[in-house]
Structure 1
Amino acid sequence: MVATRVARRIADHDGIITHAEAVELGMTRAAIRTRIDSGAWRRLTPGVYLCGTHDLTGAARLRAAVAVHRAVADRTAAAFWHGMLDDLPAAITLSAPPTVTGRSSAPFATDLVRRELPPEDVETLRGIRVTRRPLTVLLAVALLDDPQAFFDCALQTGQVTVEAVQRAFERNSRRPGIRAALPYLEAASCDSEAESERVFVEQLRTEEIGGWEQQLPFGRWRIDFAWPAEGVAVEISGWAYHRDHDRFESDAAKAAALAAAGWLVLPFTWRQITMDPIGCVEKIVAAIRVRRARLG
């Protein structure tokens, strides 16, 4: 039955249905008008409706915006759709070819960019077209308050690989905003941990901080930098561990073992070490002073 097919479509699409979809499912224009006039359907914008029994959730807003503009969800909107962000940002980010026109009078904001996207960087996911994860990560970085954490989480959880992100970057390297992700991509592609440790050693020597040992044995691990007398350990996370789940698990186990043995563990990322080495050293000095005061 038509009613059953329509109800199923609405349920599977977060309460959103378009005029074209309703007609395709067998509804007449008169039947659609009846739904609207009775309040069973709420017109969000011409040709796009929200079922009255559904709330205008983030998912519903995104579906409606994509339908209105005949667009591809990209940047933070795509990150939300892929489950990389918990909430849909206020302005829904979209891409549409220059030849596609569309005007929105819907009660939500959109950020529409006119551009062509490589076919290999677009997929249909749960009924709407979105950028694939690698390009989504690259494009979303420029809009986020903590881009490092976002990039980091995408790699750590296996949602993307460095290789896939690299290929997406090469295909889209001239797109506005994408170069904001380049520092994170370059760090993920090289031995950033070794580089950050080198920078850290130089900073310790410049500030004349002594009493430390590098790669001090501890159980089945080694401590990156240790102040044994004070029980202060510094662990530096490069990008290699994000590509290796076993490495990530091992680092977490080491940190837990150090804490259980009474060590004060100070974790630093490669970006903290390379971008703010003085700030990192200041935190270490403060920790050493606290530990000495307690021991003394």
Structure 2
Amino acid sequence: MNHYTPLSPLPLSHLSDVQRRVLSAVQLREHGVSAARAAAQCRDGGPWQQLLPGVYLLHSGPPTSEERLHGALLYAARPQEGAGRYREAMITGLAALALHRFSAAPPLLSLDRVDVLVPRTRRLRSAGCARLVRAHSLPRPQEITGVPVAPVPRALADAVAQLADGDSVRRLLTEAVRGGRCEPAAVVKELTRARLLTRPHVVDAVDSLLAEGRALAEDRLYEMVRSQRLPDPVWNVDLRLPGGPNLGGVDAYWPEHAVAVELDTRAPRHDEDTMWSEYARRREHLERLGITVVHITPKKLRESPEQQATVVRTALMASCDRDPASYVVVLPR
């Protein structure tokens, strides 16, 4: 018997080709294959092999990377009747980044283990090529080539948890931001949740990530103003009351309209509440002086630049209907 031989009259048409080659004990039982018969097929020289506890590979050759992925998911998923679904399990870590096509992630075949994200209450241990990663709550997976995969920020955090090399961490984080796969704040949030920001090499990589994210957001802001034909502002300036205190910096300012744009590139940290309170106080102060502050996140700037340009244009046009703003000194930042 081999994987081309029908197991039973039950149809296999709902399964992909790789899912027909990798089956769990539950699935085999549904097709009339007992545990004893499966064990017999896996004896030395037999046509099958046991890939993981309760997971069988229906050929005797080396498993492909696809077969290892599906085998790891079958091992980690909640047992259930019916094949083809991986309940409460998804690929994460370096394997997930490889599926997301990160050039900085190693090829799937070179990975000794496949990380699988499962609920923390799952009573199962890592085994063979499957390493279990536990989460208090599972994110919504993305499906890539029929495989449930953790979103990029979560996959990055789980990969970074296994890496001691700062250069490798930096390459992965930089590729995530440069490629527009996620915002720096989302990555930092996951790294914070995983308590990885106590590791010096991770902190250094995050600092580079935030600088990279800031530069990309500024470039997108320049491009938005140019492509949407907004009036030219003064860029990256500090505002100050004449003879008074510094009011803080803004990313773009239209002095004739008293309109400022601020990019919110803050990342979640332990002092997030303090940072937000300071930001809110500064914004309220500017608005009391008659300056309209347009708040734009890098994500909105990347996903809907036309909409953000409309918000800025509306603020510029509305300046004619407002009382004149207080005079402020504009200084290079």
TM normalised by structure 2 equals 0.45
Q: For the pair shown, which has the larger CA radius of gyration, 1 or 2? A: 2
TM-score (norm 1): 0.50
Q: Larger helix proportion, structure 1 or 2?
A: 1
